[in-house]
């Protein structure tokens, strides 16, 4: 089986669902279930013996050791993290704990387990670390896209802790020979995305008749990657990536935030029109995020050249699917609107 951490979060859950949709190999899903973890996303797997869920914190070494010993995974896919930049600005401690200490603890547990494997299994073992393009910092409008050799320059507590985890993974390959793979991807979007992030936040606020809060001038640029394309890239890297290597994963979709929000409003105007007027009338400019990175852009040519992966979705097809999914799954959205999440909205957007 494979061991997936963070498999109740947005990308991890999409990965687990995609994996079990096309493979007979079982998944051990290790997740602490923070505010971002949602077992409701995995409801369709209830009763499926190929999905084993363990509510475990990746900082808990003893629990990890027991899971490795019992389930003997052939690979670890490490998605678990604190992942929201705005939360990292309000409270960085959890980010240091999970992203740095948690990744370190998982690496140590994996290393001990891997050391005890017979030679053929040892050679086949993989530790795939899922990271972000944010570790490379911010680009100007004319800078070339991030490549695998772009120097690290993280600017937020979130990206700094992800950078720390990337360095630990690199060191475990270099020092101990652990067969690691690292992927650095751009902004994902798609089904089951927690509505604190831009795209689900805008869809949710639009349908609720609330303001659509665009930070600053709305001209920050992100590269958008459909989550299903990201999952396919991870499967390729796991199967054929070279240990010790890093791979950038991007959608070739650079958009300003304002472009994204206007496209979302146009789609909602078509698929779920307001009684009168356009959703774009709800767009509101709010105070900018401190240290807000201006532009992220990914050069994903290495992954295409070496492993033959490229995204299947365009931004238009992926976003249409995503909006339709949110319209069809309002009960999922309502279920994640917990008290804790509402408190966050008040803290972040009150001003
Ligand atoms: P998410 O916040 O939606 O989910 C994170 C999951 O990790 C949750 O299920 C949570 O319960 C779990 N978790 C958190 N702390 C844990 C701990 N200490 N022990 C065990 N489980 C814990 O995140 P996501 O958007 O699915 O991101 C997954 C990974 O991809 C992260 O490593 C993130 O840095 C990376 N990434 C995300 C994006 C994006 O656009 N979402 C982009 C680039 C990289
Ligand atoms: P986000 O989804 O938080 O991802 P990240 O910061 O990791 O790129 O934000 C994407 C972009 O959208 C980012 O430039 C911040 C901006 N943004 C808003 O303008 N308003 C919002 O309410 C949110 C959550 C984000």
Decide if pLDDT at 351 tops 70. Answer: no
Residue 325 counted as domain residue:
no
For all residues of the chain together, what is the average pLDDT?
A: 96
- Ligand 2 pocket test, candidate residues 222, 263, 344, most atoms within 8 A of CB: 222
Whole-prediction pTM value? 0.97
**Does 31 contact ligand 1 (Cβ within 6 A)?**
yes
pLDDT tens-digit series, residues 171-193: 999 999 999 999 999 999 999 99
Q: Is the CB of 102 within 6 Å of ligand 1?
A: yes
Residue 185 domain-assigned (yes or no): yes
Answer whether residue 79 is part of any domain.
Answer: yes
**Residues 268-279: b if buried by 16+ CB within 10 A, e if exposed:** beeeeeeeeeeb
Q: Which residues are catalytic?
A: 133-134, 158
Q: What is the pLDDT of residues 16-45, one digit of tens each?
A: 999 999 999 999 999 999 999 999 999 999
Which two structure tokens, joined as six digits, stand for 129? 């670390």
> Does residue 321 lie within any of the structural domains?
no
Q: Which atom of ligand 2 is nearest to the CA of 348?
A: 22
Residue span of the structural domain in which 146 resides: 2-193+224-253+294-313
* CATH, residue 180: 3.40.50.720
Tell me what percent of the residues of the chain surpass a pLDDT of 70: 99
Count the domains in the chain.
Answer: 1
Ligand nearest the Cα atom of residue 196: 2
- pLDDT 10s digits, 297-349: 999 999 999 999 999 999 999 999 999 999 999 999 988 887 776 777 778 88
Name every residue whose Cβ is closer than 8 Å to that of residue 183 and which is 6 or more positions away in sequence: 128, 129, 130, 131, 233, 234, 237, 246, 247, 248, 249
The answer to whether residue 270 sits within a structural domain is: no
Residue 94 neighbours by CB under 8 Å, 6+ apart = 82, 87
Q: Does residue 113 sit within a domain?
A: yes
Question: Which sign does the torsion angle of CA 263, 277, 325, 207 carry?
Answer: positive
35 Cα to the center of ligand 1, angstroms: 11
Q: Which of 159, 216, 257 to mutate to test the pocket of ligand 2 (most atoms within 8 A of CB)?
A: 257
Ligand 1 center–CA 83 separation, angstroms: 5
Q: What is the mean pLDDT of residues 193-199?
A: 95
Ligand 1 pocket, residue 85 CB under 6 Å: no
- The answer to the question of residue 9 being in a domain is yes
DSSP string for residues in 115-158: HTS-HHHHHH-EEEEEEEGGGG----TTSPPB-TTSPP---SHH
Decide: 187 in ligand 2 pocket, CB within 6 A.
yes
Nearest CA to ligand 2 atom 5: 85
Residue 332 in any domain: the answer is no
What is the atom index within ligand 2 of the atom nearest the CA of 293?
14
């Amino acid at each position: 089986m494979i061991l997936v951490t963070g498999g109740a979060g947005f990308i991890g859950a999409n990965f687990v669902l995609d994996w079990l949709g096309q493979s007979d190999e079982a998944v051990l899903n290790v997740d602490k279930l923070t505010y971002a973890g949602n077992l409701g996303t995995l409801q369709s797997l209830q009763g499926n013996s190929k999905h084993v869920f363990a509510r475990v914190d990746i900082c808990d070494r003893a629990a990890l050791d027991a899971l490795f010993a019992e389930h003997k995974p052939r690979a670890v896919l490490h998605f678990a993290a604190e992942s929201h930049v705005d939360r990292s600005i309000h409270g960085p401690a959890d980010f240091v704990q999970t992203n740095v200490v948690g990744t370190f603890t998982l690496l140590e547990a994996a290393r001990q387990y891997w050391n005890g494997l017979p030679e053929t299994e040892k050679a086949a073992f993989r530790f795939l670390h899922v990271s972000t393009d944010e570790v490379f910092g911010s680009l100007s409008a004319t800078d070339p896209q991030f490549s695998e050799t772009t120097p690290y320059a993280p600017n937020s507590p979130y990206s700094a802790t992800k950078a720390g985890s990337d360095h630990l993974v690199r060191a475990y390959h270099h020092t101990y020979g652990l067969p690691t793979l690292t992927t650095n991807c751009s902004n994902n979007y798609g089904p089951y995305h927690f509505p604190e992030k831009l795209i689900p936040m805008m869809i949710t606020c639009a349908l609720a008749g609330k303001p659509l809060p665009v930070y600053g001038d709305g001209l920050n640029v992100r590269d958008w990657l459909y989550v299903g394309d990201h999952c396919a890239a991870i499967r390729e890297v796991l199967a054929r990536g070279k240990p010790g290597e890093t791979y950038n994963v991007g959608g070739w979709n650079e958009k300003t935030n304002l472009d994204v929000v206007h496209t979302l409003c146009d789609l909602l105007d078509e698929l779920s029109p307001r009684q009168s007027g356009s959703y774009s009338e709800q767009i509101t400019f709010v105070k900018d995020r401190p240290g807000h990175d201006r532009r992220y852009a990914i050069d994903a040519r290495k992954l295409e050249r070496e492993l033959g992966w490229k995204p299947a979705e365009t931004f238009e097809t992926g976003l249409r699917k995503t909006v339709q999914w949110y319209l069809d799954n309002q009960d999922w959205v309502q279920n994640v609107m917990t008290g804790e999440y509402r408190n966050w909205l008040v803290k972040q957007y009150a001003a």
